[in-house]
């Protein structure tokens, strides 16, 4: 297992407003709430926020107002406001609404892609090509997500070589960063190590991000493993927003607060305020009438707003 020096600084990519809210009941959502959440997340010090997606409103009603969200957010300097854009038309919509970064998504498993986007992995890349090209003409950075990097709910374990080849192809197509997603959250640290060992032979580690789901409680252990490989970009979701469609009732995204707490304990810089994040986390859970899925926010709840809170940092 390769052990590079731990990164001194990590960039957290906050996916709560999109990946998180997309899995919450639409009845709790409205444009004003999303705008406020995004503005509060930026005020916490997060510099990279996935805010919406330009996909079919009938398939994902939670994201139907993404254009309105992008039009209404007050922008902070130095913050990237990203959108998911599966095709050419979506990139055009993103350009029209002033999105600062777009993202394409595919999976390492053909079976998963067939279920999710009704095409094979190769066909998904063909679909992205003109979308990536248009984004590049408009100087928009393009991120890529690869799902099912460890296991697919339909076809079983994923070969790390498949992920490495796909990451290399997406990089060659112009994606500046590849986010590796353990979609069903079954991965353990040794699998994460094998995956990163293989992928980083074909794509520089600086271009790799990780997106671990906490469904089986393995996310922090997997993230620590990724840090030991030199990965310095981590996808997280405030309050752990976003359940797991493959295990109803179980958690999906790892909470931003939980990752931030671990990074702070390791002396790794993020520029994000834990205190502000915890307060935002409790606020959004209240708005959504749901329990907070972050261990750290649960632990700090009795202290939030109390003077001693900051003294404990
Ligand atoms: Mg996710």
Taking the centre of ligand 1 as the mean of its atom positions, its distance from the CA of residue 310, in whole angstroms, is: 30
The residue behind tokens 């297992």 is 1
Residue-level pLDDT at 311 = 45
Catalytic residue among 44, 175, 244, 285: 244
Residue 61, CA distances (Å) to 25, 32, 37, 73, 252 in order? 10, 16, 18, 20, 19
The answer on pLDDT for 61 being more than 50 is yes
CA dist 98 and 163 (Å) reads 32
State the CB neighbour count (10 A cutoff) for residue 135.
26
Residue 312 CA to ligand 1 center (angstroms) comes to: 31
Predicted confidence at residue 219, as pLDDT, reads: 98
| Per-residue model confidence (pLDDT) at position 109 | 96
**Ligand 1 centroid from CA 209, angstroms:** 13
Gap between the Cα atoms of 182 and 222, Å rounded: 10
According to the model, what pLDDT value does residue 304 have?
53
Distance 4 CA to ligand 1 centre (A): 26
Q: For the chain, which domains are there?
A: 11-281 (3.20.20.70)
DSSP string of 122-152, one letter each residue: HHHHHHHHHHHHHHHHTT--EEEEEE-SSEE
Distance 239 CA to ligand 1 centre (A): 13
Question: What residues flank ion ligand 1 with Cβ within 5 A?
Answer: 19, 253
- Model confidence over 141-169: pLDDT tens digits? 999 999 999 999 999 999 999 999 999 99
Do 293 and 239 contact (CB within 8 A), yes or no? yes
Question: How confident is residue 264, by pLDDT bands cut at 50, 70 and 90?
Answer: very high
pLDDT band at residue 94 using 50, 70 and 90 as cut-offs: very high
**Ligand 1 center to residue 170 CA distance, Å?**
19
Q: Is the pLDDT of residue 242 over 70?
A: yes
> How many angstroms is it from 254 CA to the middle of ligand 1?
8
Whole-number Å distance between alpha carbons of 244 and 242: 7
Percent of the chain clearing pLDDT 90 (strictly above): 88
In the predicted structure, residue 293 carries a pLDDT above the cut 70: yes
pLDDT tier at 247, thresholds 50, 70, 90: confident
Say if pTM beats, i.e. exceeds, 0.75: yes
| pLDDT for the residue numbered 1 | 47
244 is catalytic: yes
| Interacting residues of 236 by C-beta distance below 8 A, sequence separation 6+ | 12, 13, 14, 15, 253, 254, 255, 256, 258, 259, 260
Residue 3: the pLDDT is 52
Confidence at 244, pLDDT banded by 50, 70, 90:
confident
Reply yes or no on whether the pLDDT at 4 is more than 90. no
Write out pLDDT tens, residues 115-145.
Answer: 989 999 999 999 999 999 999 999 999 999 9
pLDDT of amino acid 305 = 53
Going from the Cα of 7 to the center of ligand 1, the distance in angstroms, rounded, reads 23
Determine the longest span between alpha carbons in the chain, in angstroms: 56
Task: Compute CA distances 248 → 24, 58, 211, 281, whole Å.
Answer: 12, 21, 19, 22
Rounded-to-integer distance, Cα 288 and Cα 154, Å: 31
* Residue 219: CA count within 13 A, CB half-sphere: 32
First to last CA, the chain: 33
Mean of per-residue pLDDT scores for the chain: 93
The tens digit of pLDDT for each residue in 97-113 reads 999 999 999 999 999 99
Q: Average of pLDDT values for 67-89?
A: 96
d(CA 182, CA 135): 27
Query: Quick one: pLDDT band at residue 57, thresholds 50, 70, 90?
Result: confident
Q: What is the pLDDT of residue 310?
A: 46
Note whether 178 and 164 are within 8 A (CB).
no
Provide CB contacts within 8 A for 282, sequence distance 6+.
Answer: 239, 292, 297, 301, 304
- Mean pLDDT across 240-244: 87
Q: Could you read off the pLDDT of 168-214 as tens digits, one per residue?
A: 999 999 999 999 999 999 999 999 999 999 999 999 999 999 999 99
**CA 211 / ligand 1 centre spacing (Å):** 6
Is beta strand 142-147 parallel, antiparallel or unpaired with respect to 101-107? parallel
């Amino acid at each position: 297992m390769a052990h590079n020096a731990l990164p001194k600084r990590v960039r957290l990519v906050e996916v709560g407003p999109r990946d998180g809210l997309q899995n919450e009941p639409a009845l709790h959502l409205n444009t004003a709430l999303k705008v406020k959440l995004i503005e509060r997340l930026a005020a916490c010090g997060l510099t990279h926020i996935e805010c919406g997606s330009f996909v079919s409103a009938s398939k994902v009603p939670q994201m139907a107002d993404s254009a309105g969200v992008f039009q209404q957010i007050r922008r902070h300097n130095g913050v990237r406001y990203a959108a998911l854009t599966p095709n050419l038309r979506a990139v055009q919509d993103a350009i029209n609404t002033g999105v600062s970064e777009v993202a394409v998504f595919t999976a390492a498993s053909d079976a998963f892609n067939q279920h999710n986007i009704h095409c094979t992995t190769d066909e998904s890349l063909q679909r992205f090509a003109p979308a990536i090209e248009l984004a590049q003409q408009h100087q928009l950075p393009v991120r890529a997500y690869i799902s099912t990097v460890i296991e697919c709910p339909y076809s079983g374990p994923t070969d790390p070589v498949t992920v490495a080849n796909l990451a290399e192809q997406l990089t060659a197509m112009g994606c500046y960063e590849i986010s590796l997603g353990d979609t069903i959250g079954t991965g353990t640290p040794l699998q994460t190590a094998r995956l990163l060992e293989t992928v980083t032979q074909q794509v520089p580690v600086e271009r790799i991000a990780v997106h671990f789901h906490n469904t089986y409680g393995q996310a922090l252990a997997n993230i620590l493993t990724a840090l030991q490989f030199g990965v310095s970009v981590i996808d997280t979701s405030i309050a752990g927003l976003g359940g797991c469609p493959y295990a109803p009732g179980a958690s999906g995204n790892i909470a931003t607060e939980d990752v931030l707490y671990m990074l702070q304990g390791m002396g790794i810089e993020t520029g994000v305020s834990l205190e502000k994040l915890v307060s935002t986390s409790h606020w959004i859970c209240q708005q959504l009438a749901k329990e907070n899925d972050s261990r750290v926010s649960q632990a700090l709840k009795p202290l939030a707003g109390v003077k001693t809170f900051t003294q404990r940092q």
